[in-house]
Chains A and B, each alone.
Chain A
């Protein structure tokens, strides 16, 4: 089993969709939310995903395809 820590940033049109629930159910991933701030117009969630590495990768590709921005939880790793 692998673990991955990521940050999801949701656009307004996706705020009401149960994306994290579906991610867990469809890809057999356990999402563990650690921090979040979600309002009617925007939202971000910091979470740890646990599952098979290939399932996590597929799941993140699905989330990205839905229009959610997925970043490393540490923000940009690249620096000047």
Chain B
């Protein structure tokens, strides 16, 4: 049985039973799952978690699900000490959490695993989402596992590799002709009309909770301590807020000491409404029209922007934006120092980390975790200029002549 008790409005505190809904009927603000932490604290311990399955569901007691889960093997991804990259950036305690090695190559599997589990519990026979790639793949994969129908909406400029990444799982794949805004408006209308489990609309409060495991795992992998600094990318800003919630929950449950982690939020300069608000000292996140190659975080009107902004401020963290050129350089730097091929969003994280370290915002002895939220292979075309092979004839003479000094 789950320790989830009610859905509660973030603004006015109005409570609702656990059901598929995401907005407060009074003030139209987002709803969050709340738990009975007193009862939960009696059920969880470091030992119990450590003896659980090697994946995100070892934290099942902290997630809002009741029975069997829809699991495709997500979580417990590597946390690697990045010695080489750390030397480049002047950071002595740098770790990379590589969530690009999840089953569909992104952290979305964590959130979707919870969202689709709830879809099954609520009795939906179909799930849906609108996505620029990663979410589409994850929803389609989990729907396949759960034997649900999946409707996946993508904008017409979605890269072919990302279409394949979703289509392979057999969803109904719909390409929408129009801008991101057009896709948003269409899906808002569809979500009202059809009785689907729309993974990031009526299932959003549950979907959100899966991202807490990004924090839990890092804490456990570090030997039950929270990092000094976290660097994390933000599209909607939702998972950034859930990492903070995850750390806080571990402290509330007495699993770790009170948290003093500085949360640094990363966006691409071509779509940086949250960073803009942070830097301007604004309380409101003003929408922008996204224009960046980092499509995984190209959200112009981030649903949780205000709350992500609040976390960055409350944690004495910060916000950083990098250009497309800088993030491509970040992708290459990570690959060539640590052997990790991240998608463009990961490049933005590394490029931001470089900036934050250079100006001394993140100090060299601070234990810092940079999150890679998606794997690189789907973004291959962004770094195709890296392919400059030596072409030789199949004989020794040609080989030595062409390679010259490189031998």
Contact = CB atoms under 8 A, between A and B. Distances in A.
A46 B304 CA distance: 15
Contacts of A74: 22-23, 30, 188, 201, 204, 303
Contact of B183 (A42, A46, A77): A77
A78 B180 contact: yes
B130 A78 contact: yes
Interface string A47-80: 0100000000000000000000101111111111
Contact of B296 (A37, A42, A69, A80): A80
Interface in A19-43: 34-35, 37, 42
A61 B127 CA distance: 30
Given A73-B28, A75-B305, 4 more contacts: A37-B283, A48-B28, A71-B287, A75-B303
A78 B299 contact: yes
B184 A77 contact: yes
Interface string B149-172: 000010100000000000000000
Contacts of B28: 5, 34-35, 46, 48, 73
A37 B284 contact: yes
Nearest to A53: B189
Contacts of A46: 27-28
Interface of A: 4-5, 9, 34-35, 37, 42, 44, 46, 48, 69, 71-80
A69 B188 CA distance: 16
A3 to B, nearest CB: 9
Contacts of A35: 11, 27-29
A46 B170 CA distance: 37
B184 A73 contact: no
B333 interface: no
